[in-house]
Amino acid sequence: PAKKIAVIIGSLRKDSINRKFAHEVIALAPESLNLEIVEIGELAIYNQDLEENGAVPPQAWTQFRERMQEFEGVLFFTPEYNRSTTAALKNALDVGSRPYGSSVWTGKPAGVVSITPGATGAFGANHHLRQSLVFLDMPVLQQPEMYIGSAAKLLGDDGKVNNEDTKKFLKKFIDTYAVWVETNAKK
């Protein structure tokens, strides 16, 4: 059966370039992967007081944690905000990592795609995100690295990637990630 992979997008805006690329990658994915976007925009900013000492955690946190249990891997699309990933994405990592000892992330094979209209390929975001994934014990695909710069220019008016080399690169990436999942997913 196809492996279920959560696609998490670090931008909350509706016209997000990262979201457009995520849809492109989902369309290019091999049959061995079943990719689904999991939304993170409704998660309250993490605060321990909201669930410790008998407090009932926000419903959005509980739903997110339960939903994430269904998935065997996670593919992250991150914009770069001030040379880091976004607060929204970091917050989703924090929410999913708690309560202590029941993290939803542990051991799930991950991939990181960083996308920016700027020139640097969101390298800073990509690597700040990877720092947390090391601690969260996720095996993260290393190659091919996915730093997509000048990304707005790679999209047509229809919001789809209009550059054949970029499409080939995205295809190579998702095919390699699929092998990574087969090799590293928990049995």
Residues recorded for the chain: 187
Q: Of the candidates 6, 7, 18, 22, which one interacts with ligand FNR according to CB under 6 A?
A: 18
Site string for ligand FNR, 137-156 (x = CB under 6 A): --------------------
User: Closest approach of Cβ 23 to ligand FNR, in Å?
Assistant: 12
Residue 32 interacting with ligand FNR (CB under 6 A): no
Residue 78 or 97 having the CB closest to ligand FNR: 78
CB 115 within 8 A of CB 18: yes
User: Closest approach of Cβ 151 to ligand FNR, in Å?
Assistant: 8
| 150: its two tokens | 């000048």
Q: Which stretch binds ligand FNR (CB under 6 A): 14-22, 65-73, 162-170, 179-187?
A: 14-22
With a CB cutoff of 8 Å and minimum separation 6, the contacts of 76 are: 8, 10, 89, 110, 111, 112, 113, 129
Residue 123 or 169 having the CB closest to ligand FNR: 123
| 76: its two tokens | 């992250």
- Alpha-carbon distance of 50 to 55, in angstroms, equals 6
Residues numbered 78-107 forming contacts with ligand FNR, rule: CB under 6 A: 79-83
Residue 13 interacting with ligand FNR (CB under 6 A): yes
Nearest Cα to Cα of residue 21 among 32, 35, 34, 42? 35
How many other CB atoms are there within 10 angstroms of residue 27's CB atom?
14
For residue 94, the 8-state DSSP code is H
Q: Of the candidates 32, 91, 120, 184, which one interacts with ligand FNR according to CB under 6 A?
A: 120
Q: Which residues bind ligand FNR (CB under 6 A)?
A: 11, 13, 16-18, 79-83, 116-118, 120, 122
